[in-house]
Structure 1
């Protein structure tokens, strides 16, 4: 393990983010770094006060010690748990406001203590969004304006005016920045989703293409290898499809393919996976399904295709399909081996007269490829 990965695991824990959680990943990691760095920096001030290098009001010194402990505990609570991010962000923001207010009241000798409020505003925008950022900016401006007169050493009117203007400017700056950042991430995510769809879907039927279909099936077989769950594959091949293309044209063939794809999709369970793996060839993966159950599903699908009422250019189109069925247990065969058996079963259906279902159990001696 290299230094970077070790440091990342230390700061963030074992946290996995989905492809569409890019911005959440940034916010989560930013908060982890912010909390750990903030706690360490505060402890440095505490140690400096303890050694006499940076004398400090005892009340605020206790506040800083409590702040460090609470932030470290909050960081430990957040590590590895992305679903806790929003709650952790709110708690950290509240702790910071209390800590900075304590410094403003109790550390009157430090004229620059007001800068902590400036640093708080970017964090509010980046962690919790524009609405919270604007609210924190407004509360900070109002709080400083009303509270300045009650400080042991109030800031001069010129200093307060400068602080107010800079706070407002900083708030508006990060409002524009955070809004554009969120917009960018949303557009990037939408573009990635569109690209993923284009890469995994057949453009005509909108079913999974062969690559995406087999990838999903292999993933399921790998995940179910320990349990040895049963699965069944159906290979659906439309009968005499070339004749439709030759006699009625490719436009008619396309309408047939789309109608069959819709029919198959509507007849399957949500857990089943359907893909177009060739010109007029469809493959269906039935998880947790015994071969005999799969054969019953195949017969229902065959009947649904046969009962389709299609016409093109005012002329009826009759469509039938031959279906091959093959079953297996996860871990005993690869998807390519199961598909090969289903393919052989489909050819038996063709040889038997078409428009029928044939089942050919997977040979247990066939090793995964």
Structure 2
């Protein structure tokens, strides 16, 4: 049986260049076609494109100082900047730019030295520092669980360690023969770089896909007009609250409906009606607790789920919301248009099917409030005996 010859460094470098070329195209498509983190995607596309140029085996050796090493530093800076953009960390990139500029200047200062060891060491130090910065940004911004975050951070640490290890060898800080040779003459090092490139690209694309899925899930649970929870999301939260009600927790449901909404639509048009609903969502949403669930059931009807709230507390909340809405008219055109709503309040009871009973009782109380003159709060029928 004939054994396959081991992969040499030149073949591995070709594979790295091909992978970087493909990654360059993928990130360009993600940013420009799908509009996913366009700025960060452009930086990562440029990173992979520069890596493909820097590591392409056909590049003449005489161009290493002028082209390959500066491209390595710039590419490392683009990787760090692209990662920082994807992680959505709040600080900018002046530190990344500073490291890249220092690396380029230090590389240029070695121009008079015929030995490339100093230039290669500078390039590796800059690349190692930038890889560590990228690792830090991934660690604080990935949003994965600790174990998965550690897996995603590892290739950056390996890349940083490899760069700094080689720089130490090039500067004579460690015995010769410890992996000082470059990728073109060191197949194991080239294989390590290939694995690192693959894992970095895979980890970042996985992060993008995870955030894209989270965005889709968010959109499927949100009302497109107001940004509040939609009916499906409200019913899911209602079922969870019902499970807590079965264990003895006090929870309440509030249903409200905009008064004379047809008149608003007729006088202001559909755009004005939409603005009125958005206005209500903004005004009432600011005063609710983070634990409360505020959503749009449909049309001009809304619901608020109040965890750990008894009937008296729910009535107080509803009255506060009613008064708040009345005090904040809608500014439309050059006029202020008064907005009011009718509220129905009910407590959740053990035995209700997924909490739908409480929602129905609150809805009936809301219609009773409308029948009694609108712009008022009513508790559901029979609530006194359960309070």
**TM-score w.r.t. structure 1 length?**
0.57
Query: SS at 1:267's partner residue?
Result: coil
Counterpart Cα distance in 2 of 1:265 and 1:162: 58
* Aligned position for 2:313: 293
Alpha-carbon shift at residue 359 of structure 1 (Å): 0.3
SS class of match (2:251): strand
Task: Determine helix, strand or coil for the equivalent of 1:277.
Answer: strand
Q: Shift of residue 327 of structure 1?
A: 0.6
Q: Does 1:186 align with 2:207?
A: yes
CA deviation after TM superposition for structure 1 residue 350, in Å: 0.7
**Which of the numbers 186, 196, 203 marks the counterpart of 2:217?**
196
SS class of match (1:245): helix
Secondary structure of the structure 1 residue equivalent to 2:361:
helix
Match of 2:306, SS? Answer: strand
Listed as ranges, the matches of 1:78-157 within 5 Å are: 85=147, 128-137=153-162
Does 2:360 match 1:340? yes
Query: What SS class does the counterpart of residue 347 from structure 1 fall into?
Result: helix
Deviation larger for 169-178 or 128-137: 128-137
Partner of 1:284, secondary structure, is strand
RMSD: 3.4
Please give the residue correspondences for 1:205-354 in structure 2 after superposition, counting only pairs within 5 Å. Answer: 205-222=226-243, 224-332=244-352, 334-354=354-374
Output the CA distance in 1 between the equivalents of 2:177 and 2:275: 79
Deviations 1:52-83 (A, max 9, x none): xxxxxxxxxxxxxxxxxxxxxxxxxxxxxx97
- The 8 Å contact of residues 242 and 352 in structure 2, kept in 1 or not, is answered as no
1:169-226 CA-to-partner distances (Å, cap 9, x unmatched) read: 123212221221121011101211211121111111100010111112212322x145
Give the corresponding residue for 1:63.
none
CA contact (8 A) 1:341 1:362 kept: no
- How far the C-alpha of 1:140 sits from its partner, in A, is 7.3
2: CA distance between counterparts of 1:193 and 1:86? 17
- C-alpha displacement at 1:165, in angstroms? 0.6
Shift in Å at residue 346 of structure 1? 0.5
The structure 1 segments of at least 4 consecutive aligned residues displaced by more than 4 Å after TM superposition are 138-143, 145-150, 160-164, 330-333, 361-365
Q: Normalising by structure 2, what TM-score? A: 0.55
Shift of 1:354: 0.5
Quote the residue 2:194 is aligned against: 173
Compared CA separation, residues 181 and 330, structure 1 to 2 (3 A): farther
Inter-CA distance 274–171: structure 2 relative to 1 (3 Å threshold):
same
Structure 1 unpaired stretches of 5+: 1-81, 90-125, 151-159
Conserved 8 A contact 1:321-1:355: yes
Hey, what's the Cα distance between the residues in 2 that align with 1:362 and 1:285?
19
What's the CA shift string for 1:23-51, capped at 9, x where partnerless? xxxxxxxxxxxxxxxxxxxxxxxxxxxxx
Corresponding residue number in structure 2 for 1:11: none
Secondary structure of residue in 2 paired with 1:196 = helix
The number of residue pairs the alignment matches comes to: 240
Larger radius of gyration between Structure 1 and Structure 2: 1
**Structure 2 vs 1, CA of residues 362 and 184 (structure 1 numbering), >3 Å: closer, same or farther?**
farther
Q: Relative to 1, partners in 2 of residues 1:136 and 1:266: Cα closer, same or farther, differing over 3 Å?
A: same
